[in-house]
Amino acid sequence: MGSKKRRRKYVEYEWIAPCHFGMEAVCKKEITDLGYEIVHVEDGKVTFRGGPEAACRANIFLRTAERVLLKVGSFRAETFDDLFEGTKALPWEEFIPADGKFWVAKAASIKSKLFSPSDIQSIMKKAMVERLKQKYKVSWFPECGAQFPLRVTLMKDIVTVGLDTSGVSLHKRGYRKLISKAPITETLAAALIMLTPWKADRILVDPFCGSGTFPIEAAMMAANMAPGLNRSFLAEGWKQVCDKKLWYQAVEEASDLVDDTVSVDIQGYDIDGAMVKAARENAKLAGVDHMIHFQQRPVSALSHPKKYGFLIMNPPYGERIEDKEALPELYREIGERFAALDSWSAFMITSYEDAEKYMGRKADRNRKIYNGMMKTYFYQFLGPKPPRRNA
């Protein structure tokens, strides 16, 4: 028994971390910082190599990944016969026990001959059943045990198959019970903060805080609080992949790193009092309410006595026609208030094409990011660096 356990410890898998388009470099850095080897980076996902504990640590620690998939394999398929045979050839029995519940949760096809998600899903399920019947010498599966949802992508006829270890998407940290009209996901908010030079010793203000996502994610980073610490994951029940003790070890590692006594200046303002109340509730659920100052305040009242701070914001985009008319004035106001903040930097995500024009200055950097299906821009207006402190 002992030797079997030792052998399993050295099993290495390939893991896939899907992320927002445009955020691959941020996700890659996070994975490298966890100590894992990057296999390759492509649009919207990072593939890396690691042992079974990677399922636990990646799910708990990664702030910018949408989920963590265990890569079962990949193969070329131009016909449904190819798809069936390629799926059947994969070693499903290494992961899925005889009582496991398995299904193709999502199939996406890009530039491939096979493009019907429902057909792809049903053919792959049949092929898996066929393989597992032979391996387990049974004719029927109860599917009453742990869950093993598959996520499949076909890109230029190459099928990549991953088992979803996360279950509920990783952006659902568990703290956001109340959300604003145009929320930004927790994973995207974390990635955008990571694209800025902000560190915990610098001021951070979100003048359109809504349900508080930017300030909460920043506070969690400052406190070194792993985003997945207070939630569960599907792979906790995958006995053939990772022992329960690996999950306990990862939780213990994350818990030991938390320091919520760190001194920070993080503020969130919103014109809507109900949203400010919701943001406070969400921050409390995240365990960082003592680290953030929320206040009902319009952007016209934005000011701060200190220098070298950071604004980070997700202002209204004017998705409805009647709201669009108010945008020039709103963005002009943001620009004026920002100009009055001596030596500050500002970071803004918006789909509004005339943002720079009404802000009154050109962004130092501009990055195109897809927020869901919507094309947005992350404008970066950089202020001077603060003078070096004498050691």
What's the rounded mean pLDDT across residues 359-366?
A: 95
Does 316 lie in the same domain as 196?
A: yes
pLDDT at 183: 76
Residues 274 and 129 in one domain: no
114 is a domain residue: yes
Same domain, 158 and 194: no
CATH classification of the domain holding 355: 3.40.50.150
In terms of domains, do 260 and 133 share one? no
Residue 358 reports pLDDT greater than 50: yes
Give the per-residue pLDDT at 333: 97
Q: Say which CATH number the domain at 159 has.
A: 3.30.2130.30
57 and 144 together in one domain: yes
Structural domain for 123, as ranges:
2-164
* Together in a domain, 100 and 205: no
Q: Are residues 145 and 195 in the same domain?
A: no
Mean pLDDT of the chain: 93
Strands (E) located in the chain: 13-18, 37-42, 45-50, 69-76, 101-110, 147-155, 158-164, 204-206, 266-270, 292-296, 310-313, 345-350, 365-371, 374-381
**pLDDT at residue number 321:** 57
Residues 42 and 85 in one domain: yes
200 in any annotated domain:
yes
237 falls within a domain? no
Provide the pLDDT confidence category of residue 3 given band limits of 50, 70 and 90.
Answer: very low
User: Domain for residue 386, yes or no?
Assistant: no
Phi, psi of 318 (to 5 degrees): 75, 50
Residue 172 lies in a domain: no
Task: For residues 91 and 30, state if they share a domain.
Answer: yes
CA-nearest of 67, 64, 17, 61 to 228 is 61
Residue 53 falls inside a structural domain: yes
pLDDT at 169: 96
Whether residue 20 is found in the same domain as residue 121:
yes
Helix (H, G, I), strand (E, B) or coil at 204: strand
- Give the number of domains in the chain: 2
Q: Specify whether 105 is located in the same domain as 210.
A: no
Contacts of 321 (CB under 8 A, 6+ apart): none
pTM of the model: 0.93
Q: Residue 251 falls within a domain, yes or no?
A: no
